[in-house]
Amino acid sequence: MPKIKDITNLLERLAPLRYQESYDNAGLQTGDAQAEVTGVLLTLDCTEAVIDEALKKGCNLIVAHHPVIFKGLKQLTGRNYVERTIIKAIQHNIAIYASHTNLDNVLYGVNTKIADKLELQQQRILINKPQTLMQLVSFVPVENTDEVLQALHKAGAGNIGEYSNCSFQVTGTGSFLPSDKASPAIGQAGKAEEVQENRIEVLFPAYLQSTVMAALQKAHPYEEVAHYLYSLENQNQEVGIGMIGELAEEMTEEAFLAYLKQKMQLQGLRYTTIGDKKVKRVAVCGGAGSFLIKDAIRQGADAFVTGDVKYHEFFDAESQLMIADIGHYESEVFTKEIFYDTISKNFSNFAVLISEVNTNPVRYTF
Ligand SMILES: [Zn+2]
């Protein structure tokens, strides 16, 4: 039977914890990572009602988008819903795992899900996260090159977009003089040596640095492995916040509002008008995305779909684009489908259930 860590490792391949924002607290919040999974319940928020549902359905792992422990806890006495939820989870051996801003910051995460629901075409990340890529250059004897490259690829180096096992190499002559105390793989101590070597180059995500370096050290035949590590300024097309894309056909303001309501299953929404201007290019950000309004305008979006927009932030639309505040919960509720697809595609020996609890604390009346 798979263990809880097998599920969390899988979710972290999709959304590495290193991509969470500095204020966040994603990851395993309660529970034993080594425990066997009896069932997984998927939710946007982990509340007491969700713990009850997990108990009723025999699930000992809850995967949530929002971390129930977000700020520090100084006591656990059950005086608020956070403490009561944690106490109940621990009492019943229920593990709680949160994939939060790390899932906002990856391709195929929260924002791609919204863009897919709106059937946006030519999707790309709105703002790429800087400095997430590195380059490794090393020098390997010609006959060992394949073995070293294979080890680097296995460690996650050389995956670029839809391409894997990418590398560059060029052959040259390496020279070295081992000291009397050295035990060289090629040549002898105290004798100058020349070897045909390949200079190999691979790109990798910065969070894999220690894994990739360990793989290089292990696979490389030399005692001292010559290498250069570079932090790159190149944009990583797979890491960043928000998405932008185009509707198949441009729409009037009225038609777009109806389209949004239908596709995102909304009861209502708050928006700024663009009058007679048509909507074709649409930017989206799940949750509270108003910090991206100016970027959406700069990239020519006709509409920006998000949640939690404050009164004064609506003025930032400047009639250049429609700000559509569809609600925090409503913008992210389909995140559960990402968890469902990811886990059920890889495991079939336990139940993966989408929670039936509506955790939205906000209700509407008209
Ligand atoms: Zn959120």
Q: Ligand 1 mean position to 277 CA, how many Å?
A: 30
Residues shown for the chain: 366
Q: Ligand 1 mean position to 44 CA, how many Å?
A: 8
One DSSP character per residue, 146-203 reads: HHHHHHHHHTTTT-BTTB-S--EEEEEEEEE---TT---SSS-TTS-EEEEEEEEEEE
Q: What is the pLDDT of residue 184?
A: 86
Q: 């729409």: which residue's tokens? A: 251
Q: What is the pLDDT of residue 228?
A: 97
- Write the pLDDT tens digit of every residue in 94-122: 999 999 999 999 999 999 999 999 999 99
Q: Ligand 1 mean position to 103 CA, how many Å?
A: 10
| pTM summary value | 0.90
Q: What is the pLDDT of residue 82?
A: 97
Q: Ligand 1 mean position to 358 CA, how many Å?
A: 14
Q: What is the pLDDT of residue 113?
A: 98
Q: Ligand 1 mean position to 90 CA, how many Å?
A: 24
Q: Ligand 1 mean position to 93 CA, how many Å?
A: 26
Q: What is the pLDDT of residue 240?
A: 97
- CB crowding 214-243: b at 16 or more within 10 Å, else e: ebbeebbebeebeeeeeeeeeebebbbbbb
Question: pLDDT per position in the chain (366 positions), as tens?
Answer: 999 999 999 999 999 999 999 999 999 999 999 999 999 999 999 999 999 999 999 999 999 999 999 998 999 999 999 999 999 999 999 999 999 999 999 999 999 999 999 999 999 999 999 999 999 999 999 999 999 999 999 999 998 778 899 999 999 998 988 888 888 888 888 889 899 999 999 999 999 999 999 999 999 999 889 999 999 999 888 999 999 999 999 999 999 999 999 999 999 999 999 999 999 999 999 999 999 999 999 999 999 999 999 999 999 999 899 999 999 999 999 999 999 999 999 999 999 999 999 999 999 988
Q: Pick the closest to residue 225 from 308, 132, 314, 138 (CA basis).
A: 138
Q: Ligand 1 mean position to 246 CA, how many Å?
A: 24
Q: Ligand 1 mean position to 45 CA, how many Å?
A: 9
Q: What is the pLDDT of residue 279?
A: 98
Tokens representing residue 136 in the block: 């490794």
Q: Ligand 1 mean position to 286 CA, how many Å?
A: 7
Q: Ligand 1 mean position to 312 CA, how many Å?
A: 21
Q: Ligand 1 mean position to 328 CA, how many Å?
A: 6
Q: Ligand 1 mean position to 135 CA, how many Å?
A: 33
Q: Ligand 1 mean position to 289 CA, how many Å?
A: 9
Q: Ligand 1 mean position to 335 CA, how many Å?
A: 10
Strands of the 27-30 sheet, one edge to the other: 27-30, 95-98, 61-64, 39-43, 351-354
